[in-house]
Amino acid sequence: MFNRYVDGLATELSQDPAFYATRAKRIAADGCLALLAEQQHQPT
């Protein structure tokens, strides 16, 4: 069910494993809220 929901949102996943390694390090260092705040300030 989750995969259908994500597919319905037209979510795109990175195919680059380095993206996930970098993101994991940032979450570990700064926390999830820092990433959320950064995304809210980016223009769409």
- Quickly list DSSP for 5-43: HHHHTT------HHHHHHHHHHHHHH-HHHHHHHHHTS-
d(CA 41, CA 1): 31
Q: What is the pLDDT of residue 2?
A: 58
In whole angstroms, what separates CA 34 from the centre of its chain? 12
Quick: pLDDT tens for 6-44: 666 777 788 899 999 998 998 899 988 888 887 777 665
d(CA 4, CA 7): 5
- Does the pTM of the predicted model rise above 0.75? no
Q: What is the pLDDT of residue 12?
A: 78
d(CA 5, CA 16): 23
Q: What is the pLDDT of residue 3?
A: 64
